[in-house]
Structure 1
Amino acid sequence: MNFYNSEFLTTHSQSIVDFYKDRCVDNDLGGYFQNYLDDGTTFNNGFRQLVSSTRMVVNFCRAAKLLNNDEYLAIAKHGLDYVEQQHWRESSEAYAWTLQDNQPQDMTQQAYGYAFVLLCYAHCYKADVIDSDIKISETFDLLESRFWQVEEGIYADTIYDDGSLCDYRGQNANMHICEALIAAYDATQSPIYLEKAQHLANRFCFELSAQSLGLVYEHFTPELEPDLEYNKGDPKNLYRPWGFQPGHQTEWAKLLMQLNTFQARPEFVEKAQYLFDIAYSKAWDTFHGGLVYGFDTDYQTCDSDKYFWVQAESFAAAAMLFDETKQPQYLEQYTDLWDYCWQHFVDHEFGAWFRVLTGANQKYSNQKSEAGAKCDYHTLGACFDVLEFSFS
């Protein structure tokens, strides 16, 4: 099967959108249902998490353009209204991280969440869901004033309910802020967003990675040294797992390739190749297929589970590297990833992808998507990224 063509990617993207489009809108509470079983049945219907609320808006904004269906814009606007009217709490000028039946549960301010608010507004503006870029600049200003650490050159992660700043530093929120800044630049052509995205790429992929085998480590001490003890007993943590994340190496590779299209940086392409090559060679499961979730500082697997997003971000990076370098191994790896995902992750009965499998490719449960963990933003986004990068 030929996975490297626009017809396949478009058809598969449509099948993912079809899983959500007729069942995701909650007309009672507003926003989207965020928890789904494999067959599309929803559960925990009143629960909302900021990351899924914003990512699903992004999904429908991008689908409207790339699948040529303006009907999706109304679904996107429905989701944006919820972000603005429920997640955003005007009284405290802050975002609710989680809500239950529209009542805030967790008001911790997470840079990770703000990253996706920024991404959401960027794609809403590009798709003409909103007619002004003011919300993009306002969200960027909030990130700058609340999370940016001038002396460290990175964004902090967490502001507690009492307003104090957590001393944890990590790459994950910064990576997604970089992603959002790329989208903001693409939507507005304002150079401030490109310059900040380039800065984050340099900071994490070159400067800080020099301390960790040239790879991007997940967690840092307040002195910005790799924190090898943080979550050592919790390698499956949803946003802050221990060890090296192969999927984050390949996701940074993808971002570096996207940045290179705006302003040619040969060192970005070279670093993208390094990150991808190491991640793929150390994380590919030669027996069961697929990329494992994590490896340690000796490149030994520390979590053999297979996650949907790791495979998706990796096939997007592989496609971009092939398109840019024409080196055949990247097309082979793209195809191998798709062969594996087509066999094990794609739900050919009900649509969309499964979220997580064991190392031997067995499902843990019949829960396909969960608030904060999966809304097929990674799978759909990876298909859209390849369509835009390689076939537009």
Structure 2
Amino acid sequence: MSETEPDAPDGRARPDFRSPEFLRAHVRDTLAFYAGRATDPTGGFFHFFRDDGTVYDRRTRHLVSSTRFVVVHALAARHFGSPAERERVRHGLRFLHEAHRKADGGYAWTLDWHEGRAQLTDPTNHCYGLAFVLLAHAHALMAGVDEARAGLDDTVALMERRFWEPAAGLYADEADAGWRLAPYRGQNANMHACEAMLAAHEATGDRRHLQRALGLAHAVTQRLAACGHGLIWEHWRREGDVPWTIDWDYNRFDRSNIFRPWGFQTGHLTEWAKLLLQLDARLGERAPAWLAETAARWFDTALAHGWDAQHGGLVYGFGPDRGVCDGDKYHWVQAESLAAAAWLAVRLGDKRFWGWYDRIWAYVWRHFVDHEHGAWYRILGPDNRRLTDEKSPAGKTDYHDMGACWDVLRALGALER
């Protein structure tokens, strides 16, 4: 580990990062960045914010942000008991159904929204996107929006009908507007499908969703990992009758695709660690041993190869040779890693994980949290310099950052159902 991070840039003392009061307050503070500026009264939410909260694109709408805003507000409605937040959930669901949803039941990846009308700019069907549609409906249902149940059931059926590949025990990744599957296969869509199935099980009590989450976890973290040096490679492809063949070169020289980066993703290793332990907790005495074992091993591997001992923080990715291939620091990588550390500390009773939890949070508090305007910066360079004034472009919404706080509260036993 690196040296202890100093206090916040403005000189305020560092809080107790394990305190439930701090975690709830930080969620409220992060929500405050979006309050009063994110909701578009004509439909949905604005998706593009600069550091000071200025909206710099009022028309582009991305399915990932549209769904993540629903999740963010549903969690706030559920745990803070806010009627205003619950109304934002309904507002977001209406936009999903009336703007993103297509006549064939799919959801457009991107839209141009102008004067209350939607024009599809990318009608591609992504399983990754449907996983978040499912997650949004599950959290809306848990927040008391009963009409979300129909959308939950419809989305599960759509994923099953259009993307499920029984021989692989995994979902395919992408289909064109006519539902013709592309050869690309990706673990990321399946990881978020696992997350969404866990939420669907919590929302409905239907055990088939829990079994699907467990099946996905096993297929990715055990079977696919056996082909990737014991870790999970992001990119695969269909070759003939073989649905999943590893693709070591996909996007090797393209760092612009934020959803399909090359390399072992530090944050996905820790995000899987968190999900495996949440599965472990949900299964209880029936949980297989590989869940906790893989979670600890992947977290340790991520920190061993991803922690920047000089500048602090976790880098974006490392290659098959374990050398850093992208040294930038992304907000979500830090968030998922501190949440995983808390879950491991509680599940395994090992104080070293609390040590990592405190170290990651201290780094985030110093470098990622905007103590002037609120929310987290999206990306920093290897030496922690800000690379852009775009705090929250499409896909961010601080879903990972607030979600990590909720995840830690749950690990601590400080959340109701």
* TM-score, structure 1 normalization: 0.97
Shift of 1:226: 2.3
C-alpha RMSD of matched pairs (Å): 1.1
1:14 aligns with 2:28: yes
* Matched residue, 1:251: 271
Cα 1:189–1:301 shift into 2, 3 Å: same
Letter in 2 for 1:10: R
Inter-partner Cα distance in structure 2 for 1:46 and 1:80: 18
State the 1:236 CA deviation.
4.7
1:357 aligns with 2:394: no
Equivalent residue number for residue 175 of structure 2: 159
Inter-partner Cα distance in structure 2 for 1:93 and 1:180: 18
Q: Secondary structure at the match of 1:225?
A: strand
Give 5+ residue unaligned stretches, structure 1.
none
Worse overlay, 149-158 or 342-351: 149-158
5 Å-filtered alignment, 1:69-88, equals: 69-88=82-101
Partner Cα separation in structure 1 for residue 227 and residue 106 of structure 2: 35
Match of 1:170 among 186, 198, 201: 186
Q: Equivalent residue for 2:398?
A: 376
Q: Are residues 1:262 and 2:262 paired?
A: no
- CA deviation vs aligned residue, 1:228-249 (integer Å, no higher than 9, x gap): 1111111452111111001000
Partners in 2 of 1:236 and 1:215 — Cα distance? 23
> Where does 1:281-296 land on structure 2 (aligned, <5 Å)?
281-296=304-319
1:14-64 per-residue CA deviation (whole Å, 9 max, x = no partner) reads 001111121111113x10011001111101101100010010000000011
Asked whether the 8 Å contact 2:269–2:302 carries over to 1, the reply is yes
In the alignment, structure 1 residue 93 sits paired with structure 2 residue 105? yes
Give the SS at the match of 2:391. strand
> Distance in 1 between the 2:222 and 2:35 partners?
40
Range moving further from structure 2, 376-385 or 261-270: 261-270
AA aligned opposite 2:316 = Y
Aligned residues: percent identity? 44
* CA deviation after TM superposition for structure 1 residue 214, in Å: 1.4
Q: Say if 2:76 is the partner of 1:63.
A: yes
Verify the 8 A CA contact 2:105 2:158 in the aligned structure 1.
no
C-alpha displacement of 1:93: 2.8
Residues in 2 aligned to 1:387 and 1:60: alpha-carbon distance in whole angstroms? 17
CA contact (8 A) 1:235 1:243 kept: no
- The SS at the match of 2:61 is strand
Question: Structure 1's 13 and 132: CA in aligned 2 closer, same or farther, altered over 3 A?
Answer: closer
Aligned counterparts, 1:84-233, within 5 A: 84-90=97-103, 92-101=104-113, 102-131=118-147, 133-222=149-238, 223=242, 224-233=244-253
Matched letter for residue 80 of structure 1: L
Residues 303 and 314 of structure 2 are in contact (CA less than 8 Å); yes or no, is this contact kept in structure 1?
A: yes
The 3-state SS of whatever aligns with 1:314 is helix
Quick one: which amino acid aligns to residue 389 of structure 1?
A: A
Shift in Å, 1:94: 2.2
Matched, 1:35 2:48: yes
| Contact 2:140 2:148 (C-alpha < 8 Å) held by counterparts | no
Q: Residue 132 of structure 1: CA displacement?
A: 5.7
State yes or no: 1:337 paired with 2:346.
no
Shift in CA distance, 226/324, structure 1 to aligned 2, threshold 3 Å: same
Q: How far 1:131 moved relative to its partner?
A: 4.2
Distance in 2, matches of 1:60 and 1:134, equals 19
Give distance in 1, aligned partners of 2:274 and 2:141. Answer: 23
**1:344 Cα offset (Å):** 0.4
Q: Which amino acid aligns with 2:404?
A: A
Q: Is the 8 A contact 1:116 1:180 kept in 2?
A: yes
Q: Cα offset for 1:162? A: 3.7
Task: Check whether the contact 2:220–2:232 (CA below 8 A) recurs between aligned residues.
Answer: yes
Q: After TM superposition, list the pairs within 5 Å mapping 1:35-54 onto structure 2.
A: 35-54=48-67
Q: Distance in 2 between matches of 1:254 and 1:389?
A: 10
8 Å Cα contact 2:138/2:148 also seen in 1: no
Provide, for residues 247-297 of structure 1, a one-character-per-residue CA deviation record: whole Å limited to 9, x for no partner.
Answer: 000000010011011113232011100111100111000000000000001
Whole-Å separation in 2 of the counterparts to 1:330 and 1:70: 37
Contact 2:44 2:95 (C-alpha < 8 Å) held by counterparts: yes
Write the deviation string for residues 134-171 of structure 1: whole angstroms up to 9, x where unpaired. 22111000000000011121101110124311011110
Are 2:298 and 1:275 equivalent residues in the alignment? yes
State the aligned residue count: 389
CA contact (8 A) 1:66 1:384 kept: no
Report SS of the residue matched to 1:105. strand
Aligned residue number for residue 7 of structure 2: none
Runs of 4+ in 1 over 4 A off after TM superposition: none
